[in-house]
Structure 1
């Protein structure tokens, strides 16, 4: 599943190529026909991300008033993806849930967990359910700090809980805990508030790098050596998907286990 920086980067891209102009919207697959028809021909006003959720805003042509505005909510889930091509787009291939076509560029959405019309109330409900997003400058981490401070759950589970903090996936969870030298099994309430605040600040910095570069970069320059990670085209990681390999810092074997249905990676020597 894409991590939060991917959705923010996607929102920026869609804002850049579609923003401020009318777009043609359709559902070749047929599963979003009414929703697509509702915004077809409208101006693509804005795209934004909240955690792993993409919100596309549309407004009627010729007006900047809020009356008549529409939103589409997309959650990519495990299998969803957008593909982009120059306009006019060729006939659709595969199960295209949503097609947006501007004057020069078009994009097709396949396989999302959610693709639906949203109201302002729907968006408010979504935001209320999510924890703060490190990539949004309009959020306060206080909710996250308070949730972790009172929880008996392990910090490794809390960081993956979108109600605690939005947009964090398995890679950032594993890597930020390693960088902080924190055992993923420690109870949230056992961590000093300063340590949790430092995790937040590190996530803000790392995820902004991810947005700028289009890929996760978590290894500090002084540690950026040795074998690559789990695939030739992937950036180096400290522990993520390196189970059985030596830790880049202390050479202890990196361990893995399952936590809340997801694979966890950590160094038992560095993270105590």
Structure 2
């Protein structure tokens, strides 16, 4: 599932290409046809993201809400438009570009009231300027749940996924099983600031890089990571491989339905 930086990156791209213009919205697949008709030909006012949710806001105060889920994806193209290939849930055509959306978990038109209700269910997003990290801390500091669970709970913190979870806990030496209420406030402040910086890097580069300069392949004389996710990481998907800092084999276990990774030496219980 794409993490929050990918949705913010999409929002910025759609803002540049479509915002301020009337756009043609259709559903070649048919499943989104009725909702598409509500915004077809309208001006797209802005595109924005909150966590893993993409929002296209129209001049009618209607909003197209997209959650990509595990299988959703956008395919971006320059004009001219060609015939749909595969199951296209939504097609958006602007003055210079067009995009096809396939396989999302959610694609629907919401009212302003419904969007406010959606936002109310989400925690602060490190990539949004209106985020309030104290709201996340209020939940974390009272919780018996582990930090590995809390960081993936979108009602606590919006946009953080499996990779950022594992990596930010490693970077701050926090064992994944640490209860939220046992975390020091200063450590949380550092984690939040780190997520803001790391996720901004993700937006700029289009990949997740979490390794500090002094631990990059060239600095350490090691081979670069080869993985379809790209980017340099400390522990994510490195089960059994030596920790880049101490050499201890990286461990993994399933937490909140996803594989989590950590170093038992650098992140002691």
Relative to the length of structure 2, the TM-score reads: 0.96
Whether the 8 Å contact between 1:25 and 1:99 is mirrored in structure 2 is yes
Distance 1:122 1:180 in 2: 37
Whether the 8 Å contact between 1:229 and 1:241 is mirrored in structure 2 is no
Q: Which residue of 1 aligns with 2:168?
A: 176
Displacement after TM superposition at 1:227 (Å):
3.1
Distance 2:94 2:162 in 1: 35
2:79 to 68, 87, 99: 87
Q: Give the paired residue count.
A: 264
Would you say 1:13 and 2:5 are equivalent positions? no
Whether the 8 Å contact between 1:88 and 1:101 is mirrored in structure 2 is no
Distance 1:103 1:209 in 2: 30
Distance 1:84 1:191 in 2: 42
Distance 1:160 1:233 in 2: 19
SS in 2 for 1:109: strand
Q: Which residue of 1 aligns with 2:44?
A: 44
Displacement after TM superposition at 1:69 (Å):
2.5
Q: Which residue of 1 aligns with 2:130?
A: 138
Whether the 8 Å contact between 2:73 and 2:104 is mirrored in structure 1 is yes
Displacement after TM superposition at 1:233 (Å):
6.6
Distance 1:53 1:32 in 2: 17
Would you say 1:25 and 2:17 are equivalent positions? no
RMSD: 1.0
Would you say 1:121 and 2:117 are equivalent positions? no
2:66 to 67, 74, 91: 74
Decide which moves more: 84-93 or 7-16: 84-93
Distance 1:181 1:142 in 2: 21
Whether the 8 Å contact between 2:207 and 2:229 is mirrored in structure 1 is no
SS in 2 for 1:178: helix
Relative to the length of structure 1, the TM-score reads: 0.95
Displacement after TM superposition at 1:120 (Å):
0.7
Whether the 8 Å contact between 1:243 and 1:256 is mirrored in structure 2 is yes
SS in 2 for 1:164: coil
Whether the 8 Å contact between 1:229 and 1:242 is mirrored in structure 2 is no
2:267 to 260, 265, 271: 271
Distance 1:81 1:238 in 2: 27
Distance 2:38 2:243 in 1: 53
Q: Which residue of 2 aligns with 1:245?
A: 241
SS in 1 for 2:208: coil
Would you say 1:261 and 2:257 are equivalent positions? yes
Decide which moves more: 86-95 or 167-176: 86-95
SS in 1 for 2:49: strand
Give 5+ residue unaligned stretches, structure 2: none
SS in 2 for 1:16: helix
Whether the 8 Å contact between 1:230 and 1:241 is mirrored in structure 2 is no
- CA-to-partner distance for each residue in 1:204-229, whole Å, 9 max, x for gaps? 01001111111111100001122333
Q: Which residue of 1 aligns with 2:212?
A: 220
Displacement after TM superposition at 1:19 (Å):
1.0
Displacement after TM superposition at 1:58 (Å):
1.2
Q: Which residue of 2 aligns with 1:56?
A: 56
Distance 1:157 1:69 in 2: 35
